[in-house]
Every structure is written in C-alpha cells, then in structure tokens.
C-alpha cells in the first residue's frame, strides 16, 4: 500500500507539471498574441496611410473639377461672344457689298468648292484641267480682292480682329477643359484604387482582430488554468504539512467540541492506509489541512 505522503507527493508533482504546462502554453499564446497585435498595428498603419492618401486625391480631384466648371463657363462665355462677333461680321459683309457689282464672297466660295470637287473627281484632258485651274485662280483672286476691300473698312477690320481673338480665347478655355478633366479623372482613378485597397486592409484588420481575440482568450484560459493548478499545489502542500504532523490555522467556525474527523484521517495516514481524493479534501475543509 502506498504511503499517504507519497501519494500526496506524487499528486503535487503532477499538479506542478500541469502548472508548468499551462504556464508554458500561456506564455506561448501571449507571445503569439504580441505578434498578431504587431501585424494588426502594421495593417492599421497602412490603412490610415492609404486612407489619407486617398483623401488627398479626392481633394485634388474636387479642386480640378471646380476648375473644369470654371473653364467651361468661360468657354461658353467666349463662344457666345464669338457668335455675336461672327453675326456682326456677316452683317457688315452684307452691308458692304462690293460696289463693282461683283458676286458676293459666299457665292464665290461656293463656286470654288464645286470646281475643287470637280478637279478631284473628274477625268480631264490637259486643256480642260488647265482651264479649270485658271478659273479656280480667278475666283480665289476675286475673293482676296473683296476680302481686302472689307479689311480696308476700319469697322470690319476691328470686328474681324475681335472675332479672331474671341476664337482664340474660346479655344484656349476648351483646351483647358480637356486637360483639367483628364487630370481630374486620373486623381479619381487613383482615389478609387486606394479606397479599394483600404477596404481590403480593413477586411484583413477585422480578420486579424478576430484572430487576436481568439489567441488572447486562449491565453487567458491557460492563465486561469495555471492559477487554479498553482492553488491546487498549495492545497496539496497543506495536506502534506498536516500528514507529516504539522497543523494549519483552523477554518472559521471550527471549535474543539466538533468531531475531529481529521484525527481519524491522520491515524489512517500514519498506518499507511490508502486515502482517496475525497478524504484529502475533507481534511482540507476541516481546518487542519
């Protein structure tokens, strides 16, 4: 029969071994939790960095879009002015028809276009082509002559120069609209790409957070198991102290007049009889274990 103290020593050794296992498991899980926490912190750092960068692209996009709207408004205004100036030029042309009774310029230009089309699409003999080219040159000269007559008119010349300047301004604003719109689109695409990356990082952060909670929960469970096992070891040591003839402070409510069950238990221990866990717990509860 195994001596009671030997049994207690064996149980204490087993409890100590379990306590060491729980402590090692807890420490391993805490180390893993630190690594997971570092991973989460890095993901959050990237998330905040990319989110900030995306906001910068959004800000620049909005600024560019505002400039696009301003350039469009300016373009429309210059197109309106250009239309007014062209209308004025047409009115001046009608009012200042050549005094020589020559056909108006619009009619000459129409004839010239017809001759040019005929020259490009019709098979002509050498003489026919020569006469056709001479006619085209004559019409072009007539057009230049009337244009020169019109430009000699100060009012017409001023209106023409204003129309040319308005056309240049309208074209300049039109080009600016295209350039700014392209730049705004690039900023928008960069912003969208970054926000998609932010969404992916946020999902990863949630996954890592869930893993961190899982590891920390397991570490807490291992820690509680370690503490419980340490308390178990201390209880066994109290039993060993009592089994070897020592005494522990009496539990609250214990009085000498109560039946001393522990005396019988100690007697059994001294005889070398085997005791059960229930017996050991009973000894602990008695106030002398």
Contact between 107 and 146 (Cβ < 8 Å): no
Does residue 167 come out as left (phi exceeding 0), alpha (psi in the -120 to 50 range) or beta? alpha
HSE-CB at 182 with a 13 A cutoff on CA atoms is 5
Q: What is the pLDDT along the chain (289 residues), one digit of tens a residue?
A: 347 788 888 999 999 999 999 999 999 999 999 999 999 999 999 999 999 999 999 999 999 999 999 999 999 999 999 999 999 988 887 776 665 566 777 788 888 889 888 888 888 888 888 888 998 998 888 888 777 777 777 888 888 899 999 999 999 999 999 999 999 999 999 999 999 999 999 999 999 999 999 999 999 999 999 999 999 999 989 888 887 776 544 444 434 434 445 455 555 544 445 455 555 555 545 544 3
- For the purposes of burial, counting CB atoms within 10 Å of the CB of 145, is it exposed (0-12), middle (13-18) or buried (19 or more)? middle
Angle of CA points 232, 238, 239, to nearest 5°: 90
What domains can be seen in the chain, in order of their start residue? 4-96+153-226 (1.10.287.620)
DSSP H or E stretch at residue 51: helix 4-95
* Per-residue pLDDT, 257: 38
pTM exceeding the 0.85 threshold for the entire prediction: no
**If you count them, how many residues does the chain have?**
289
* Per-residue pLDDT, 230: 93
- Residue whose structure tokens are 């397991």: 218
Contact between 219 and 33 (Cβ < 8 Å): yes
């Amino acid at each position: 029969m195994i001596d009671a103290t030997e049994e207690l020593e064996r149980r204490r050794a087993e409890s100590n071994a379990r306590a060491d296992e729980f402590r090692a498991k807890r420490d391993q899980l805490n180390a893993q939790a630190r690594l997971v926490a570092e991973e989460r912190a890095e993901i959050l750092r990237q998330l905040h960095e990319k989110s900030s960068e995306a906001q910068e692209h959004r800000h620049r996009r909005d600024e560019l879009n505002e400039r696009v709207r301003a350039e469009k408004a300016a373009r429309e205004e210059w197109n309106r002015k250009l239309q007014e100036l062209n209308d004025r030029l047409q009115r001046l042309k009608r009012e200042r028809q050549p005094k020589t009774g020559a056909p108006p310029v619009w009619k000459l230009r129409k004839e010239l276009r017809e001759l040019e089309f005929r020259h490009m699409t019709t098979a002509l003999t050498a003489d026919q082509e020569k006469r056709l080219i001479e006619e085209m040159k004559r019409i072009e000269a007539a057009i230049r002559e009337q244009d020169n007559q019109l430009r000699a008119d100060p009012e017409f010349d001023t209106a023409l120069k204003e129309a040319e300047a308005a056309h240049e301004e309208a074209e300049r604003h039109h080009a600016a609209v295209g350039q700014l719109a392209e730049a705004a689109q690039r900023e928008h695409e960069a912003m969208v790409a970054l926000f998609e990356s932010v969404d992916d990082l946020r999902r990863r952060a949630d996954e890592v957070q869930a893993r961190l909670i899982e590891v920390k929960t397991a570490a807490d469970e291992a820690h509680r198991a370690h503490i419980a096992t340490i308390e178990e070891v201390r209880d066994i040591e109290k039993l060993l102290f009592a089994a070897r003839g020592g005494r522990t402070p009496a539990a609250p409510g214990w009085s000498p007049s109560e039946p001393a069950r522990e005396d019988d238990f100690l007697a059994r221990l001294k005889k070398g009889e085997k005791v059960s866990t229930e017996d050991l717990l009973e000894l602990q509860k008695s106030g002398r274990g």
